Amino acid sequence: MRRLRYQERINDVMAIEISLDAKSPTRALVMELEGMAVPTRRVIFENVRATLSEQGVSFDEPAMMRYGLHAVPAHMVGDIAEHYGLRAAARTSLLGKLNKALAEHFRSRAVTMALGLDRVLDLARDAGSSLGVLSWQEEDAARALIEKVGLARWNPQVFCLPSPDHEFPGADVWLKALKALGCSPRSAAALISARAPGRAALAAGMRVVASPDEFTSHQDFGGVDALVDHVGDATVEQIFGRI
């Protein structure tokens, strides 16, 4: 049954690719809201470490690099709980405290978009690109965060999946966003900070620019079109290729 569902998903992805390739190309830049556009992993690490410490569990930065990188908090907590053998009550407590900490951070003065991202968004807009943002939050919360950090200035289209599966953002998510943007994968770029979403975007046929953070810099980003130390260093040629 799982294999059948996987094949159906691949068929859906292929159908989207065919329909997009039939359209006249426009450019699009797509990224995750939480983690890429708005850095969150340090906040997540500090909260998870504090909560697990209360339960007598040591959680350090190497552990975060191994078990704490899933894009969706619920799935990330599931991975951590499985590794440490947390009971259901401890798992529920960890997720509740993490969701509360993230919500408070997103409303705080400390929240900002990634340093230098504004420059990249200006370059993309000048190149005639539209902007898409993926989020695991409810749409109202995602739009509030976009407004809070100033991303609304670039008029992004927001694609929210508040109950995403463990593959989020998989190739199908990237492709569905491109379909809504009216852009072929060949004319689109994904801006990512971790390996898993980068591989999914590559599988979708997109260009990929990786800008890892302190928790993902050890990962293998083989296959991406560009790897930059800081997102603001990315050039329009790295993002979209030769224009």
**Are the beta carbons of 111 and 38 closer than 8 angstroms?**
yes
Strands (E), 144-212: 157-160, 188-192, 207-210
**Are the beta carbons of 215 and 69 closer than 8 angstroms?**
yes
Domain boundaries defined on the chain: 2-39+112-240, 41-107
pLDDT in tens, 30-40: 999 999 999 99
Q: Report whether pLDDT(206) > 70.
A: yes
Average pLDDT score over residue span 199-227: 97
pLDDT in tens, 73-82: 999 999 999 9
Peptide bond into 62 cis (omega under 30): no
pLDDT in tens, 99-137: 999 999 999 999 999 999 999 999 999 999 999 999 999
pLDDT in tens, 35-60: 999 999 999 999 999 999 999 999 99
Superfamily of domain 2-39+112-240: HAD superfamily/HAD-like (3.40.50.1000)
* Rounded-to-integer distance, Cα 212 and Cα 198, Å: 11
If DSSP codes are grouped into helix, strand and coil, which group holds residue 20? helix
Helices (H) and strands (E) in the chain, counts: 10, 6
